[in-house]
Structure 1
Amino acid sequence: MTARLAGLLPGELDEQQSEVYRTITAGPRAAGPQAFALVDEGGRLRGPFNAMLLSPPVGLAVQAVGAAVRYESVLTDRVREMAILVVAAHWGSAFEWAAHEAVGRAHGLTEPELHALRSGGLPNLPDPAERTALSATAALTRTGALSDSEYYDTVAAWGERGLFELTALVGYYALLALQLRVFAGEEPADPCDPPQTESGTR
Structure 2
Amino acid sequence: MSERLGGCADPGALDADALALYRELVHGRRAERPPAFPLTGPSGRLNGPAATWLLHPPLGTALERLGATVSYDLTLSARCKETVILTVAHHHDSVFEKYAHRLGAARAGFTAEETEELCAGRTPASAGPEERCTHRVARTLLADGRLDDASHAEALAVLGPKGLFEAVTLTGFYTLLAYQLGAYAIVPPAGG
User: TM (normalized to structure 1)?
Assistant: 0.85
**Higher helix proportion:** 2
- Distance of aligned partners of 1:38 and 1:159 in 2 relative to their CA distance in 1, 3 Å threshold: same
Per the TM alignment, residue 2 of structure 1 is displaced from its structure 2 partner at its CA by: 4.5
| RMSD, aligned CA | 2.0
Q: Output the CA distance in 1 between the equivalents of 2:167 and 2:160.
A: 11
Moved more, 13-22 or 74-83: 13-22
Taking the TM superposition and a 5 Å limit, the aligned residue runs for 1:18-37 are 18-32=19-33, 34-37=35-38
Partner residue of 2:69? 68
Cα shift at 1:111:
2.5
Measure how far apart 1:185 and its partner are: 5.3
Give the direction of change, closer, same or farther, for the CA distance of 1:36–1:114 in structure 2 (3 Å limit): same
Maintained 8 Å contact 2:41/2:189: no
Q: Is the Cα–Cα contact under 8 Å of residues 38 and 45 in structure 1 kept in the other structure?
A: yes
Equivalent residue, structure 1, for 2:183: 182
Task: Work out the number of aligned pairs and report it.
Answer: 191
| Structure 1 partner of 2:52 | 51
- The residue correspondences of 1:90-101 to structure 2 (distance < 5 A) are 90-101=91-102
| C-alpha distance in 2 between matches for 1:168 and 1:14 | 31
Q: Distance in 2 between matches of 1:41 and 1:126?
A: 37
Aligned position for 1:135: 136
Q: CA deviation at 1:101?
A: 0.5
Of 24-33 and 86-95, the range deviating more from structure 2: 24-33
CA distance 1:181–1:81, shift in 2 (3 Å): same
Alpha-carbon distance, 1:10 to partner: 2.3
Q: What is the CA-CA distance between 1:158 and the residue it aligns to? A: 1.8
Q: Matched residues in 2 for 1:78 and 1:68: separation? A: 17
Gapped runs of 5+ residues in structure 1?
A: 187-196
TM-score under structure 2 normalisation?
Answer: 0.89
Q: Which amino acid aligns with 1:14?
A: D
Q: State the SS of the aligned residue for 1:4.
A: helix
CA distance in 2, matches of 1:31, 1:83: 24
Match of 1:5 in 2: 5
Shift of 1:166: 1.2
Q: 1:121 to 1:60 in 2, by over 3 A?
A: same
Distance 1:3 1:122 in 2: 36
1:192 aligned partner: none
Q: How big is the shift at 1:114? A: 1.3
- In structure 2, runs of 5+ residues without a counterpart are none
